[in-house]
Chains A and B, each alone.
Chain A
Amino acid sequence: MTDPFVHQQLFFGTRMNRTSLQWVPNSLLWLHFLPLCWVWNCEPVGETPPAPDTTLEVSSSELTPAPPVLARLTRLQYTSAISDLFGPTIVVPAGLEPDLVQDGLLSIGATVSSLSPVGVEKNADIALKLADQIVLLDPIPTFFCPDSAHADCLETRIRNGGRLIWRRPLAEDEVSTLLKLGNAARAALPDDPLAGERYVLVALLSSPYFLYRVEFGEPDPAVPEHRRYTAMELASRLSFFLWSSVPDDLLLDAADSGELLTEQGLSKQIDRMLASPKIKRSVRNFFAEWLDLISLDELNKDPTLFPHFAADLGASAREETLRTVEHIIFEKDADIRELLTTETTFVDKRLAALYGLPATVLDGFGQVQLPDFGQRAGILGQVSFLAKQAHPVSSSATLRGLFIRERLLCQPLPTPPANLNTAIPEPGPGALTLRDRLVVHMEEPSCAFCHAQTDPIGFGLENFDGIGRWRTTDNGALIDSTGDLDGTSFDGPRQLNIAIATHPEFIPCVVSTFYSYASGRLPTSAEAAMLSELEAQFVQSGLRWPALMRLVALSDGFRKVAEVSP
């Protein structure tokens, strides 16, 4: 019996419909009973889910906000900022300091890591090389000067460019320092007509006000004992959150005019930002961080065992997953749980061959439908997960199970104890499959403590080998892919996908991870109630991703701030 729909109907029933659901704060157990027609494109049961309600607002009047963090720009944010400020022809030279992963996210790593001496040296080089390219542009974007023949032009350029690069108006002493530098450069390099602009640019790009996101907040005039981010800080927060880059002129104008501090003005800007093509950048960025897609560049497989492997397979696999994400969010505007169940994917020739599908396009990626009721579906049926969470020569039920526990359900496991014999005992003659060999983990109490949490999930995916090809046998023995995820039994990957999508921790994990991505830190305990509200409203939206982006941007946690911690 491999038809997951039968299982799904048996388990969830068909009598549920959306209007019968009642939100119970702090308990998402009811998600088990959501009509699965939201997730799988079968005929709707009962009423059609309403369109996302974009008027939702989060009102946690009692939120005690957290202190501000000091985030460094990640490599991607730096690159996006340069592209937005100076145009896509400007190439950021290699050498930006690697990002640190903390709590699974680069966005959190950016608020705890320090720039090393090597990083400072390379940043300085990069700023010089960028300035070399930028001053050749005519006119220089960002460095507006309406009347370029005018003697004051350098100062005008400093004011206009500085505001966009530092995301705030420059103070007078800052303008005069930069002007002095620009004039010194002109004097020192008389043969270079753009020496002033060149060194002003280097200084702006080397400054902490470009390299860090500086936010302190201010007293909230409505409730002076509370603090909020300033309008300029909010503009910057919104743009790094929704665009992974610096704010544009319009957003800064909305901050200048104070419009951004009104509910209506804020909503208007958020809607504008959600409608911009730049929103895709942030969506790709978040899913790449969350789903561990960045390290796919380091994917290594033994090509003698996996002929589909090549050095760029990891990059192809990442693109497949990100296109799937974009398709679900932007083209279908669908329930985000379709990530786990979608039968649509995007393959290049090599991925198509790996999946045993006909390639639909000669170059690049083409959209394909996976076979109806086949076992490969969703992101857990993709190479980006199956090959990455595995060994170079074989699959790994443990790594795959651990990824699902930690990344998709936010259930971190302790690390293995030291001085423990980690070798799997040599298999007996009957132990052919990985499952047979790992069964000892369950018999040994010191192993079972963690492996009981990971391996049984991974066994459900054993039909995919170490690179993600479908198989029915391991070592000649039939693969048993039945299992149980916290009380939900499954038979094969397709039912496992459903078990994860309907797991009571899945949506809270998504929301909390996305909130962490937006705020550069883990949620505080004071934010728990607010997160529950966000979850509830996300559910009300039909689990539509744009709704969640909007909800987070409007949340008190995103707009209010405590004093800097001592």
Chain B
Amino acid sequence: MIRVGRRSFLRGVIGGTVITVGLPFLEWTHKWIPRGHAATTSDGFPVRFGLFFWGNGILPERFVPQQTGDSWELSEQLQPLRSFQQKLTVVSGMQVAVPNVEPHFATAAGILSGRPLQSTGANATFAGPSIDQVIASVLGEDTLYRSLEFGAASNKGLSHNGPNSINYPETSPFALFDRVFGKSFKLPGTESVTDPTLALRQSVLDAVTADIKKLQTKVSSNDKVRLEQHLDGIRALEKKLAKLAADPPNLAACAYPTQPEPDYPDIDGRPQLQEKNAAMAEIIAFAMACDQTRVFSNFITEPVNNLLFKNAPAGHHQLTHDEPGEQPEVHAITVQCIEAFAAQLAALDAIVEGEQTLLDHCMILGTSDVSFAKLHSGDDFPILLAGGAGKLKMGVHYRSPSKENASKVLLTLARAAGLDMTSFGDAEGFVNQSLSAIEV
């Protein structure tokens, strides 16, 4: 394994510059305009953030470890994480306190955005950005991709820029590979060739930007926000074009991931979840090793999914409600989700950066849309933290004595990423204290 030195990373990537970010003017930023400096690890690497999300929750009695503090044993459902126990912190007993008006989605919005759902029923949407995008506002400013979203069996999308502005996940490993490592990707050391089309593409974007800005003066305030989100995308693309014109980051750990299969057909009506997830986990790990992005979201399955998992006698969601007793089938499915989480961590841990691994330079949040799916519960929410980036205490089971607000974890993560935030979320999801017990 080639090791990448800290200095080459600094020189190649961040070059000692400090960025200050201001999010574009959006409705949800009226009360909150984040500022900050992208955090770096103590050994000089950029802090990265990843979200790992699975649908339909857990069985709390079999998920939460028995012991707390530094000395604890993995619970039944956490067994797949045994190789990572020292790089893992379990936060239990926290409550997603937003009104549970829309089973699965209200608590998903709560744990990911710290805000109650905006409206309900067929029109429910997040009221603000999800944690990955909050963090991308500071960590995502200096890379080709501000963030990357994917998921083996998830296409509805939970990563939000704001209401009804969704970053849809890539569901095909091949499409993810092609997007990041396709024709435009350059390995470190590749000489940059002047591409005359880049300037032309920039001119196209200039014309589009002018048109959108002109339109913004005529449309309703809601549509102005929607167009501003379009402009965010244009700005991200402009940044990408500029990056494509520059030399690629000089990173020793950067390499091509294994090219995935073009297709992963279902077997016996069951999707090849683990295989797709492993392929995507590797692609995103190398995307970060090559500094193409510093923020990712892996939505392996989505809320209310009724997928047929391997060996399961019925769809996941149906089982969570209909399986009687201790729900052994639901348990087996949750374990499969945690196995996929372990595969994501393993892909990150396989890449060495300096004296540590890429996983050590990441803050990973693992969570779901509900706690106990049978009750659509927001209590005792599943919250797993991994890697830590030197900012979070690892190897700990913290159990809240008082049903603390789960948004505290989001505030901790946002601050650790470098955002100068003193509060997080809104209404019942609002907190102005982070979870200091897990902070370094």
Q: Which residues of A contact B (CB under 8 A)?
A: 67, 70, 94-95, 97-98, 100-104, 109, 112-121, 124, 128, 177-178, 181, 184-185, 188-189, 199, 202-203, 206-209, 212, 214, 216, 298, 300-304, 309, 311, 391-394, 412, 414-416, 418-424, 426, 564-566
Contact = CB atoms under 8 A, between A and B. Distances in A.
A114 B325 CA distance: 44
B227 interface: yes
Interface residues of B, number: 73
B233 A392 contact: no
Contacts of A188: 196-197, 199-200
Nearest to A72: B226
B266 interface: yes
A424 B374 CA distance: 10
A98 B122 contact: no
Contact of B229 (A115, A124, A206, A300): A115
Contacts of B164: 100, 102, 109, 112-114
B71 interface: no
A394 B317 CA distance: 13
Contact of B376 (A70, A214, A391, A419): A419
Interface of B: 100-103, 106, 120-123, 146, 149, 155, 157, 161-162, 164-168, 175, 196-197, 199-201, 203-205, 207-208, 210-212, 215, 218-223, 225-227, 229-230, 232-234, 236-237, 240, 265-266, 268-269, 306-308, 313-315, 318, 321-325, 374-378
Contacts of B215: 208, 212, 214
A98 B103 contact: no
A415 B236 contact: no
A178 B203 CA distance: 10
Contact of A208 (B155, B196, B208, B268): B208
A300 B271 CA distance: 9
B375 A421 contact: yes
A394 B315 CA distance: 10
A120 B200 CA distance: 17
Contact of B236 (A101, A109, A121, A199): A121
A206 B103 contact: no
Contacts, number: 201
A309 B230 CA distance: 41
Contact of A419 (B121, B322, B375): B375
B308 A114 contact: no
A248 B1 CA distance: 60
Contact of A115 (B101, B233, B266): B233
Given A103-B123, A415-B120, A418-B375, A116 B161 contact: yes
A119 B155 CA distance: 14
B237 A301 contact: no
Given A208-B208, A418-B376, A421-B375, A124 B237 contact: yes
A181 B207 contact: yes
B308 A102 contact: no
A500 B307 CA distance: 31
A70 B306 contact: no
B211 A209 contact: yes
28 contacts: A70-B223, A70-B227, A97-B168, A101-B122, A103-B122, A115-B229, A116-B166, A116-B168, A116-B229, A117-B161, A117-B167, A124-B205, A181-B200, A199-B200, A207-B207, A214-B215, A298-B155, A302-B308, A391-B314, A392-B315, A415-B103, A418-B376, A418-B377, A419-B100, A419-B376, A422-B376, A423-B321, A564-B218
A531 B135 CA distance: 47
A92 to B, nearest CB: 15
A94 B157 CA distance: 18
B233 A565 contact: no
Contacts of B227: 70, 208
Given A101-B122, A208-B230, A415-B121, A116 B268 contact: no
A550 to B, nearest CB: 29
Closest 5 CB pairs of A and B: A120-B233, A418-B100, A114-B229, A114-B165, A117-B233
Nearest to A214: B215
Contact of B207 (A103, A177, A189, A298): A177
Nearest to B265: A311
B313 A393 contact: yes
B318 A392 contact: yes
Given A124-B201, A208-B212, A426-B324, A304 B269 contact: yes
B251 to A, nearest CB: 23
Contact of A300 (B236, B265, B308): B308
Nearest to A216: B218
A189 B197 contact: yes
A416 B376 CA distance: 9
A421 B322 contact: no
A303 B267 CA distance: 10
Contact of B322 (A94, A102, A208, A424): A424
Contact of B168 (A118, A184, A422): A118
B315 A300 contact: yes
B110 to A, nearest CB: 11
Contact of B122 (A104, A115, A121, A422): A104
A420 B229 contact: no
Contacts of A214: 215
Contact of B315 (A67, A121, A393, A416): A393
A203 B199 CA distance: 13
Contacts of A116: 161, 165-168, 229, 233
A423 B374 contact: yes
Nearest to B225: A114
